[in-house]
């Protein structure tokens, strides 16, 4: 199956489906486990996103990729909409990249090249999210070449085990969630957010819930934006000279996870893991009028059991930086 041209088709998908409006943002997000003192498991992620945040006169509509999920939105509930598109590449490697043989029950080599369409529809009390992700895992994702290039650039040891990576496979994921602003003080400097959701697809499937505490300025106008982190399109961001500190806890029960289960329809390397995850995140975001930056540390499974802890931990713990600006 020759999927290599998808690397060039995905940027065209991003630019052709996004139409410039009056309140557009461009965001670049970099994830890396080195920020938390590791270099295995979820090793690196790079995502470029564009968002149409709408205006009083213009409310963006969901894109064509979201057609299977549009029925689940309440048309009458929409006060403010946000529609976004992202392209990205994720890299997952085992504990050591110096071995050229497959290691049993170790996180396998894998990479994902993907495109996502995410849509938020909200009012002052709650916001709904729908998202669709389409992509490819395996050699066609181009992750081996990316890691080899950067290791050579910085004179690091070259990875030796990519011949054991997952096979080429087209993958997808649908996501649906709702977030509530559960409480806010009268000065709009402190609030609590709660969310529930579900994901279904060959990338991963789960049911999940989360709570988040925020302290800062301009919270009311950005309470829905932490939902974008669940779609891997960007970190929580502040806008229009706002800022906030955030800390969250989350839980999920995973039914399938391609980076650990391996290929859906072919035999491939795999690793055992605990399907129940309890984790958290902390971070800070600050904005000028047209530029925003975020730094976050995420550990999606800080209660990993002894039996599977290393596999779970290496895949779910990483640091993340986002830079966004109005275009």
In this prediction, residue 38 carries a pLDDT of: 54
State percent of the chain over pLDDT 90: 55
117: CATH: 2.40.128.140
Q: Is residue 19 part of a domain?
A: yes
Q: Is residue 37 part of a domain?
A: yes
Q: Is residue 191 part of a domain?
A: yes
Mean pLDDT rounded to a whole number for the chain: 83
**Closest CA relative to residue 272, chosen from 229, 308, 316:** 308
3-class DSSP state of 237: coil
pTM listed for this prediction? 0.86
Q: Which residues contact 207 (CB under 8 A, 6 or more apart)?
A: 196, 197, 198, 252, 253
Contact assessment for residue 190 and residue 218, using Cβ atoms and an 8 Å cutoff: no
Q: Is residue 1 part of a domain?
A: no
Contact assessment for residue 222 and residue 181, using Cβ atoms and an 8 Å cutoff: no
Name the H helices within 67-179.
Answer: 143-153
> What is the count of structural domains for the chain?
1
Compute the distance between CA of residue 228 and CA of residue 232 in angstroms, rounded to an integer. 7
How many CB atoms lie under 10 A from the CB of residue 46? 15
Compute the distance between CA of residue 269 and CA of residue 163 in angstroms, rounded to an integer. 11
pLDDT in tens, 122-148: 877 799 999 999 999 999 999 888 777
pLDDT in tens, 138-189: 999 998 887 776 555 555 666 677 888 999 999 999 999 999 999 999 999 9
Mean pLDDT of 188-192: 97
Mean pLDDT of 25-46: 74
CA dihedral 268, 166, 14, 320 (to 10 degrees): 110
Q: Is residue 271 part of a domain?
A: yes
Q: What confidence category does residue 286 fall into, taking pLDDT thresholds of 50, 70 and 90? A: very high
Host domain of residue 160? 6-326
Distances (CA, A) of 282 to 220, 294, 297, 317, 322: 19, 11, 6, 12, 14
Q: Is residue 257 part of a domain?
A: yes
Q: Is residue 281 part of a domain?
A: yes
In this prediction, residue 294 carries a pLDDT of: 96
Q: Is residue 32 part of a domain?
A: yes
In this prediction, residue 11 carries a pLDDT of: 44
């Amino acid at each position: 199956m020759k999927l290599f041209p998808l690397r060039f088709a995905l940027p065209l998908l991003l630019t052709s489906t996004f139409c410039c409006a009056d309140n557009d943002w461009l965001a670049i997000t970099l994830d890396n486990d080195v920020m938390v003192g590791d270099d295995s498991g979820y090793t690196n992620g790079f995502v470029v996103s564009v968002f149409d945040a709408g205006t009083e006169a213009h409310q963006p509509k969901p894109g064509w990729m979201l057609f299977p999920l549009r029925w689940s939105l309440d048309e009458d509930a929409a006060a403010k909409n946000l529609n976004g598109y992202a392209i990205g590449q994720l890299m997952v490697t085992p504990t050591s990249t110096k071995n050229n043989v497959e290691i049993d029950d170790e996180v396998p080599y894998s990479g994902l090249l993907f495109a996502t369409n995410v849509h938020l529809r909200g009012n002052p009390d709650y916001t709904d999210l729908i998202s669709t992700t389409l992509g490819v895992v395996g050699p066609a994702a181009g992750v081996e070449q990316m890691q080899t290039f950067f290791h050579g650039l910085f004179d690091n040891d070259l990875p030796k085990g990519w011949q054991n990576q997952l096979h080429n496979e087209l993958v997808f994921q649908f996501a649906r969630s709702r977030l509530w602003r559960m409480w806010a003080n009268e000065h709009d400097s402190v609030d609590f957010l709660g969310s529930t959701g579900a994901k279904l697809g060959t990338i991963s499937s789960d049911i999940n819930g989360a709570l988040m505490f925020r302290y800062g300025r301009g919270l009311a106008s950005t309470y829905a934006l932490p939902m974008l982190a669940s779609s891997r399109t960007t970190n929580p961001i502040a806008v229009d000279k706002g800022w906030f500190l955030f800390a969250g806890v989350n839980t999920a029960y995973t039914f399938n996870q391609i980076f650990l289960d391996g290929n859906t329809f072919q035999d491939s390397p795999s690793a055992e893991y605990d399907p129940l995850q309890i984790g958290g995140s902390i971070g800070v975001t600050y904005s000028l009028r047209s530029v925003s930056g975020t730094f976050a540390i995420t550990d999606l499974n800080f209660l990993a059991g002894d039996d599977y802890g290393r596999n779970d931990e290496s895949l779910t713990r990483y640091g993340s930086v986002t830079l966004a600006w109005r275009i």
